C-alpha cells in the first residue's frame, strides 16, 4: 500500500457543522520504535500493548468557514485555552492536509483531556494524536459515508502516525504492529495493524503498572531522540535486531513462554536506553530510582519465580508488566517495595485494552 491510497477523491456530501468525541489510549512498546526516516517512516518495526486506562478524550466541534488558505482552530485543554499545544496541531494539520483536504474549510474547536495526571511524564502524544485522528475520520466519514470500517481505522492510524509515530499504535487493541516486517502479514510502515496471529492466554489482560519516577519535562524530545539514530554507530544492527525480536515474540505470543517474553522485553528497554547512551550527543534518561526499581524487580523475580518484568520509554518511569493471574502478589510487592522510589508515591494501574472508542 502507498500513501496516496489515503488521498480522498471528491466528497459525496457536504456538512455545515457538528461535533464528535473520541477517546484513544496510550500504548507501551515491547519492541521499540527508535529511529525514523522522512515522513514518519519508522526505521524498524515495533509492537505494543494497547493500554486501557491511560487515555486522551478529545471533542472536536467544527463549523464551515470560507477557505481562506489557512487552518483555523481553537485548542482547549480541560476546557481552558492552551496556546502552547497549538503549534503541534498546526504542524499536524500541515502534514495531513493532502489526505484531509477539508481541513481549511472548517473552523475547529478541539477540547482535550487526559485520564492520567497532567505532567505525569506519561507521553500524551500517542493517545492525543490517536483521539484527534479518529475525530477527523468521523468528519471525513460524514463527507464520504461509503467509507468502509477498515479504511476508517487504517486511515486513522495513518493520520495519527503523521502526528506522532507511536500514535498509530493507539487506534486498535490489544496488540499492534507498526512497520513492515517480512513475517507479519499485512504489516506496514504507514499504519499500525492489530497483531494478526494467535496469542496465548497468558497475555490476556496483561497488566502494566506505571511507576512515576520522574514527572519532569522530557529531557530529550522524541524528535531529537529519533534523530540520534542518524549516523549512530550501532544503528543498522539495532534495526536488524528489532526485526529478529519481533520474529522471536511471534513464537512467544503463541506458546506463552513468559521467561522468553521477559528476556526480549527487558532487553528491548535497555537497548533503547543503550542507544541513547551511545549516541552523540549522549543522554542518560534513567534516574537512580529507575535502577533501584529494576534491581528490586530482578530480586523479587529471582526469589519468587513470579514472571514480572519491566520496560521503559524514553524517560525514567518504569512500566511493570505481568500476567493477570499474579496481579495480587505483584501489587503487594509494588506497594511495599517499589512505591517509595516513585515521585510522591505515584503510580498508575493499567492493563491491555481494546483501542479507541467513540464517546
Which stretches of the chain bind ligand DP6, using CB under 6 A? 29, 32-34, 40, 46, 123, 125, 164-166, 222-223, 226, 272, 313-314
Burial of 118 (0-12, 13-18, 19+ CB in 10 A): exposed
Burial code of 177-207, b = ≥16 C-beta within 10 A, e = fewer? bbbbbeebeebbbbbbbebeeebeebbeebb
CB of 45 to ligand DP6, least distance (A): 10
Q: Give the nearer residue to ligand DP6 in terms of CB position, either 141 or 273.
A: 273
Q: Which residues are CB-neighbours of 266 under 8 A, at least 6 positions away?
A: 309, 310, 311
Return left, alpha or beta for 104; rule: phi > 0 is left, psi -120 to 50 is alpha, else beta.
Answer: alpha
- Residue carrying C-alpha cell 486522551: 56
CB of 19 to ligand DP6, least distance (A): 27
Asked if residues 161 and 40 have their Cβ atoms less than 8 Å apart, the reply is yes
Asked if residues 306 and 207 have their Cβ atoms less than 8 Å apart, the reply is no
Q: Give the nearer residue to ligand DP6 in terms of CB position, either 26 or 138.
A: 26
Q: Give the nearer residue to ligand DP6 in terms of CB position, either 61 or 293.
A: 293
CB of 61 to ligand DP6, least distance (A): 26
CB of 225 to ligand DP6, least distance (A): 7
Q: Give the nearer residue to ligand DP6 in terms of CB position, either 59 or 313.
A: 313
Q: What stretches of the chain show up as alpha helix (H) in DSSP?
A: 86-96, 125-143, 149-163, 222-227, 235-255, 258-277, 288-304, 327-333
Q: Name the residue with the smallest CB distance to ligand DP6.
A: 165
Q: Give the nearer residue to ligand DP6 in terms of CB position, either 143 or 272.
A: 272
CB of 128 to ligand DP6, least distance (A): 11
CB of 28 to ligand DP6, least distance (A): 7
Q: Give the nearer residue to ligand DP6 in terms of CB position, either 143 or 162.
A: 162
Half-sphere exposure of 335 (CA within 13 A, CB side): 7
Q: Give the nearer residue to ligand DP6 in terms of CB position, either 224 or 331.
A: 224
CB of 166 to ligand DP6, least distance (A): 3
Q: Give the nearer residue to ligand DP6 in terms of CB position, either 62 or 191.
A: 191
Return left, alpha or beta for 231; rule: phi > 0 is left, psi -120 to 50 is alpha, else beta.
Answer: left
Asked if residues 6 and 156 have their Cβ atoms less than 8 Å apart, the reply is no
Task: Specify the DSSP class assigned to residue 53.
Answer: E
CA 59 to the chain's CA centroid: 20
CB of 340 to ligand DP6, least distance (A): 26
Amino acid at each position: 500500500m502507498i500513501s496516496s491510497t489515503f488521498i480522498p477523491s471528491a466528497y459525496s456530501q457536504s456538512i455545515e457543522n457538528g461535533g464528535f468525541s473520541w477517546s484513544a489510549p496510550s500504548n507501551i512498546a515491547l519492541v521499540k520504535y527508535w529511529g525514523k526516516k522522512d515522513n514518519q517512516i519508522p526505521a524498524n518495526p515495533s509492537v505494543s500493548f494497547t493500554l486501557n486506562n491511560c487515555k486522551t478524550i478529545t471533542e472536536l466541534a467544527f463549523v464551515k468557514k470560507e477557505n481562506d488558505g489557512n487552518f483555523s482552530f481553537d485548542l482547549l485543554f480541560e476546557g481552558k485555552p492552551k496556546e502552547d499545544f497549538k503549534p503541534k496541531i498546526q504542524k499536524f494539520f500541515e502534514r495531513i492536509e493532502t489526505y484531509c483536504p477539508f481541513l481549511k474549510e472548517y473552523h475547529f474547536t478541539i477540547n482535550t483531556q487526559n485520564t492520567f495526571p497532567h505532567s505525569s511524564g506519561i507521553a500524551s502524544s500517542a493517545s492525543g494524536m490517536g483521539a484527534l485522528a479518529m475525530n477527523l475520520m468521523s468528519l471525513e466519514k460524514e463527507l464520504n459515508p461509503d467509507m468502509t470500517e477498515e479504511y476508517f481505522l487504517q486511515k486513522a492510524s495513518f493520520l495519527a502516525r503523521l502526528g506522532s509515530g507511536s500514535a498509530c499504535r493507539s487506534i486498535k487493541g490489544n496488540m499492534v504492529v507498526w512497520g513492515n516486517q517480512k513475517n507479519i502479514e499485512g504489516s506496514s510502515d504507514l499504519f499500525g495493524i492489530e497483531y494478526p496471529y494467535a496469542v496465548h492466554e497468558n497475555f490476556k489482560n496483561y497488566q502494566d503498572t506505571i511507576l512515576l519516577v520522574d514527572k519532569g519535562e522530557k529531557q530529550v524530545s522524541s524528535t531529537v531522540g529519533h534523530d540520534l539514530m542518524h549516523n549512530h554507530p550501532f544503528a543498522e544492527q539495532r534495526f536488524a535486531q528489532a526485526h529478529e525480536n519481533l520474529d522471536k515474540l511471534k513464537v512467544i505470543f503463541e506458546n506463552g513462554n513468559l521467561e522468553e517474553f521477559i528476556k526480549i522485553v527487558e532487553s528491548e528497554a535497555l537497548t533503547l536506553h543503550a542507544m541513547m547512551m551511545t549516541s552523540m550527543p549522549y543522554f542518560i534518561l534513567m534516574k537512580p530510582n529507575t535502577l533501584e526499581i529494576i534491581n528490586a524487580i530482578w530480586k523479587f523475580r529471582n526469589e519468587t519465580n513470579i514472571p514480572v518484568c519491566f520496560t521503559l520509554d524514553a524517560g525514567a518511569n518504569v512500566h511493570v508488566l505481568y500476567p493477570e493471574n499474579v496481579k495480587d502478589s505483584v501489587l503487594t510487592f509494588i506497594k511495599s517495595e517499589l512505591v517509595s522510589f516513585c515521585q510522591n508515591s505515584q503510580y498508575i494501574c493499567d492493563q491491555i485494552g481494546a483501542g479507541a472508542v467513540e464517546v
